[in-house]
Structure 1
């Protein structure tokens, strides 16, 4: 663990923020080089820096196990989200700091540089016992947080590289610190750019221009409700149609009544985890787990509102999360039709799909889940829980397509107190230790097994 802390401190010090516009590309390059050097020092073979189609670099290496043993792929990523408001951090975001509560603070500590260290710890434990009992492949992605799909495209072009009997994605976490959890359900996503423009014939009839006075048309600073149609107001009305009066996401033709049957997420606990202000209601109906893991949700992630009277269109970025059982391409069609049919006043709307990710659900009857349950029981002294994730891990769908019989499991260090992607992100070192032991025990239990399960995208 002392060595793990030192290595995580070195990783956190790299400002490997996703996207070259947000940090120097040299930081990601340096992180990838550090990882490649670490893998070589650990005895990995075939260590390579993979140039993916989105301009990022992923790091790959392999450890051979006994002849005829199954192959296990371990995954993590080294790129991180921006630190947001650095002044709001109690400690420097790129310096791993131990605070009075014993947690280790720093951007990427839990999501997902800690996942890299988790894999290394598990493999070192096995090496101390004579070496890995299975063939191991390790892939560390460099553009997970960008959402640009570089590794997915690289994997499709080189399907043999990541082929495996079992896959362990180290990028999720427990429902609560100390409660061992496997994530078995991921929502997919449709990302769309929505542009609303007022009919140009109507605009010309009104004689609007950027210099229009407020006067009778009401287009200036003192504009009131007597003015003509407004693109921003039309966009707001259009986006508002994505939720009903209770706050449920509603997209015409899309099922919004799913039920979650796994571990519950108590309402009171969620309010605390999400820091919901006192007196603010939670939108929507059904349980918290229903809404987070089994139903669609629409979020406006960006707005571009033109100056009144400019005649420019108003734009928004919309992310529609979709539960397992919903095809992303079909959801994109339904979202487009819904927005087109709910734009008021004859305004023109353009909906451009800029990204799609398929949802994912695992077959928990697969043998690997039995092995993981046994490993978690030994490492934690508690039974394994299964939970969902409101977001997505795009690589899961790609790997399920390329290796339909592969058993895919998602674990990690991102329990609620970790505040992954938020200010003051942290890691509980007890979780790192227990989850690393879990992974080592899990790999040991796979030594005499073949991949007979399957995951369905």
Structure 2
């Protein structure tokens, strides 16, 4: 059978399987598996069990496991065959809903409007789960790969127990290829593989200049104010055009294959007319390959509670996105040194890293990458693109570090209008169908083994 005929036959099977797959997705979205909220711990367990049942019904041997009191994950394995081993990853936990009244329809009542399915987790990442379900349902007894499953239950809280789970179940998760179905496509109709992600430093900086607050009229002008010192130190993080000005945070850049049209970016991000865009170079390079620093909180009193006082201490919390190629420890040291050097009046500067996640550069030269690219091309009928992601997914580094011999492929079920983590999160159902077909084609084409490295 020719490649085209085989693709058409598998697409027809997918059409038959899709109603049951979408019903499973509705079932999963209806479960409020919010891992960040202790009140939903039972729902996270219910979500894990429902996920395990869905795969078990396809003949996959599954178990629900947790380590160190962490949220439950689903592990699974297919019947052994002679082909390569592929680990399929997704996560079944979801973000909190935010203001429920702001949703057009209730967040845990999956609702179809036009081509989209709305609901918390509909895209991020319960769609990833059903992509894996669809692939296994379509291939059935013709599955020529050894499939392993890892459906995590705490990705939305930075996977705190995943490192230990990967160690304890290393043999069960060992694979030649890892498919992480948890990213975003470049556009509806344009499939993507994510090959790089920025890392993150969640950093607190505190400046101290006094041992107690003072009256601003009695002492202002001759005594330093920690609030003003903090503002000046934070301003030093950026140069005149808004690019990050901290030595040691930049890495040699690789020009992205695609560029973001400025007017589209402004519209997508809601940039007000007349407001400029910070930074230099291609917009996709700024988003994927350059550092960014965002002030996400301060200890300064709100305007309504302001007092006429000089502050003894002031703290800011920073979200620092670290580009691929920059070491996290070196980045934290560079930030501390820069802030200390740029805090006026000899202020005492203290920094604390609250959380961190490594940047990742997966590359595009592995044989499995070429197979996946071909599968995406045939599923979408358009040319796929390699993209970066400005956000951070710490588990990608964990998987790459724990399974160093495996090729990690980060595939997509989301699109730019998905609004993951936001109000009215949704999934484009046409893109879901194409993502399912692409994974079917990947597993089918890997059945005879990986092609030789170039």
After TM superposition, the score normalised by the length of structure 1 is 0.88
Deviation (angstroms), 1:345: 2.3
**Cα pair 2:368 2:450 within 8 Å, conserved:** no
Provide the secondary structure at the position in 2 that maps to 1:170: strand
* Residues 92-137 of structure 1: per-residue CA shift (max 9 Å, x gap): 11211111x321111111111111111111111111xx33210001
What's the counterpart of residue 448 of structure 1?
A: 448
Q: Which residue of 1 aligns with 2:387?
A: 387
CA contact 2:198–2:323 (8 Å) conserved in 1: yes
Matched, 1:42 2:37: no
2:128 and 2:413 in contact (8 A); partners too: yes
CA contact (8 A) 1:74 1:169 kept: yes
What residue number does 2:72 align with?
Answer: 57
Q: 1:13 matched to which residue of 2?
A: 30
* Displacement of 1:386: 0.7
The C-alpha deviation readout for 1:259-302, integer Å capped at 9, x for no partner, is 42322222222222222222222111111111011111111222
Of 84-93 and 290-299, the range deviating more from structure 2: 84-93
Q: Does 1:216 align with 2:218?
A: yes
Counterpart of 2:119 (choices 106, 120, 130) is: 106
In 2, the alpha carbon distance for the partners of 1:315 and 1:254 equals 22
- Aligned equivalent of 1:262: 257
Show structure 2 runs of 5+ residues with no match. 1-17
- State how far apart, in whole Å, the 1-side matches of 2:32 and 2:402 are: 33
Q: Which residue of 2 aligns with 1:305?
A: 300
Per-residue deviation at 1:215?
Answer: 4.5
**Residue in structure 1 matching 2:232, options 230, 237, 256:** 237
Instruction: Choose from 21, 24, 31 the match for 2:40.
Output: 24
* Separation in structure 2 between the aligned mates of residue 452 and residue 410 of structure 1, nearest angstrom: 21
Cα contact 1:407–1:453 (8 A) shared by 2: no
What displacement does 1:416 show?
0.2
The reply on whether 1:93 has 2:93 as its aligned counterpart is no
After the TM superposition, which residues 59-208 of structure 1 pair with which residues of structure 2 at under 5 Å, given as runs? 59-66=74-81, 68-99=82-113, 101-127=114-140, 130-200=141-211, 203=212, 208=213
For 1:411-426, list aligned pairs within 5 A.
Answer: 411-426=411-426
Aligned pairs, number: 432
CA contact under 8 A between 1:77 and 1:141: conserved in structure 2?
yes
Partner of 1:223: none
Residue 5 of structure 2 is aligned to residue 3 of structure 1: no
Against the structure 1 CA distance between its residues 51 and 35, is the aligned structure 2 distance closer, same or farther, given a 3 Å change threshold?
same
Q: Deviations over 1:171-201 (max 9, x none)?
A: 002100111111111111222122222232x
User: Using a 3 Å threshold, how does the CA distance of structure 1 residues 54 and 359 change in structure 2: closer, same or farther?
Assistant: farther
C-alpha separation in 2, matches of 1:16 and 1:196: 39
Whether contact under 8 Å (2:244, 2:292) holds in the other structure is yes
Unmatched runs of 5 consecutive residues or more in structure 1:
219-225
SS of equivalent residue, structure 2 residue 414: coil
1:257–1:295: 8 Å Cα contact kept in structure 2? no
User: In 2, are the aligned partners of 1:192 and 1:353 still within 8 Å (CA)?
Assistant: yes
* Partner SS for 2:387: strand
Counterpart in 1 of 2:358?
A: 358
> After the TM superposition, which of the residue ranges 109-118 and 156-165 deviates more from structure 2?
156-165
Q: CA RMSD in A?
A: 2.2
- 1:431 alignment partner, SS class: helix
* Contact 2:88–2:132 (Cα < 8 Å) also in 1: yes
CA distance in 2: counterparts of 1:411 and 1:293, whole angstroms = 17
Larger fraction in helix: 2
> C-alpha separation between the residues in 2 aligned to 1:256 and 1:374?
31
User: 2:405 maps to what in 1?
Assistant: 405
**Paired residues of 2:249 and 2:323 also in contact (CA < 8 A):** no
Displacement, 1:159?
Answer: 2.4
**Which SS does the other structure have where 2:370 is aligned?**
helix
Aligned to 2:3: none
